[in-house]
Amino acid sequence: MQKSTAIANSNIAIIKYWGKRDERLILPTNNSISFTMDEQLSTTTTVEFDSALKQDEAILDGKIADEKEYERVSNFLNVVRARAKIKLFAKVVSNNTFPKAAGLASSASGFAALAAAASKAVGLDYSMKDISILARLGSGSATRSVYGGAVEWQKGSASDGNDSYAVQLSPASNWKHLRNIIAIVDAEKKKVSSRAGMAETVKTSKRFSSRLEAVGKRLEIVRSAIKDNNFESMADIIMEDSDDMHACMADTIPPIVYMDETSNKIKKAVRALNESEKIAAYTFDAGPNANIYTTNPNEVKSMLKEINGIKKIIECKIGEGIRFSEKHLFY
């Protein structure tokens, strides 16, 4: 069968996904909105289904996948095999341009690239919408990485998940002035996975229901700001949604705390920077690293230089969605 290679970039949400209504089908409790990042945060994946293989093979960042990784990849390939009605095993080789599980959402680019490469390799003639639905079965945030620019994952209401996919709100070309300055505070693997953490929040947080009510209004404001190409008018909402998600994490029993002292210093500094003119918005995922969306990257970078505990700064542009390549990772 043909070999297929796909590239997908990571995305960083501005209205967060934190909670599932269906754990198996990865159906979220609320819509979320993100910007897709540039090639600095990307995954390239080559897939080939091959009758000579006795089991799936997965090599991630040059190493044979560990047990947990193998199981996740192989389970995902089972979905692809079921859809294509074949039984062949596959070889998967995947390279990230950034450290895995560093709070930089590697599962987003990882499963988007795997969904695209595997569906093409198996001969399924999938649209981007189909790929988005398939990617969702690997990881929720991967649903959004299918498209570039500003992207909304519609939670949908169907019980089979077929209306839970992403749509592009605005292409990357409309956001040439916007950057995400990522401050790496800690590049270690996180202690509580997003998957486990969000399940606990849905189960035990009393605050979570008020979050779901508030998100509706936030989505409206952000959609309208994106339509107007106006970053400033959504900066406060972006920070409010990140704070709200982390408050729900803290309200979980037992509490989940991803942000540390350095993260909190960054939050304060962004607020101070915005006092004279609104130029930046922080957002934090399931880790201490800060994502600072801004129309004035130089000012944000000089502000970050004054803060101790930041290990690395990455300046990301708004990037493109999935693309296919003829340059395979194995031959």
The Cα–Cα gap between 76 and 72 comes to 6
Instruction: For residue 45, state whether it binds ligand 2P0 (rule: CB under 6 A).
Output: no
Q: Sketch the per residue contact string, 120 through 139, with ligand 2P0: x for CB under 6 A, - otherwise.
A: -------------------x
Residues 6+ apart with CB under 8 A from 234: 14, 221, 222, 225, 226, 281
Q: Supply the DSSP symbol for 237.
A: H
Q: Which is nearer to ligand 2P0, 244 or 285 (CB)?
A: 285
The Cα–Cα gap between 67 and 254 comes to 27
The dihedrals phi and psi of 146, each to the nearest 5 degrees, come to -65, -35
Residue 228: strand, helix, or coil = coil
Please state the closest distance from residue 14 (CB atom) to ligand 2P0, in A. Answer: 9
Window 99-118: residues binding ligand 2P0 (CB under 6 A) = 105, 107
Window 272-301: residues binding ligand 2P0 (CB under 6 A) = 285-286
The Cα–Cα gap between 173 and 176 comes to 6
Q: What token pair was written down for 165?
A: 């996919």
Q: What is the CA radius of gyration of the chain?
A: 19
Window 8-27: residues binding ligand 2P0 (CB under 6 A) = 13, 16-18, 26
Please state the closest distance from residue 18 (CB atom) to ligand 2P0, in A. Answer: 6
Please state the closest distance from residue 309 (CB atom) to ligand 2P0, in A. Answer: 21
- Helix (H) / strand (E) containing 42: strand 42-50
The Cα–Cα gap between 207 and 41 comes to 32
The Cα–Cα gap between 180 and 300 comes to 10
Q: What token pair was written down for 323?
A: 């693309």
Please state the closest distance from residue 33 (CB atom) to ligand 2P0, in A. Answer: 9
Among 113, 120, 132, 140, binds ligand 2P0 (CB under 6 A): 140
Instruction: For residue 314, state whether it binds ligand 2P0 (rule: CB under 6 A).
Output: no
Q: Supply the DSSP symbol for 46.
A: E
Q: Supply the DSSP symbol for 189.
A: P
Instruction: For residue 32, state whether it binds ligand 2P0 (rule: CB under 6 A).
Output: yes
Instruction: For residue 248, state whether it binds ligand 2P0 (rule: CB under 6 A).
Output: no
The Cα–Cα gap between 18 and 318 comes to 23
Instruction: For residue 186, state whether it binds ligand 2P0 (rule: CB under 6 A).
Output: no
Residue 310: strand, helix, or coil = coil
Instruction: For residue 74, state whether it binds ligand 2P0 (rule: CB under 6 A).
Output: no
Please state the closest distance from residue 191 (CB atom) to ligand 2P0, in A. Answer: 14
Please state the closest distance from residue 284 (CB atom) to ligand 2P0, in A. Answer: 8
# residues near ligand 2P0 by CB under 6 A: 15
Window 203-232: residues binding ligand 2P0 (CB under 6 A) = none
Instruction: For residue 165, state whether it binds ligand 2P0 (rule: CB under 6 A).
Output: no
Interacting residues with ligand 2P0 (CB under 6 A): 13, 16-18, 26, 32, 105, 107, 139-141, 194-195, 285-286
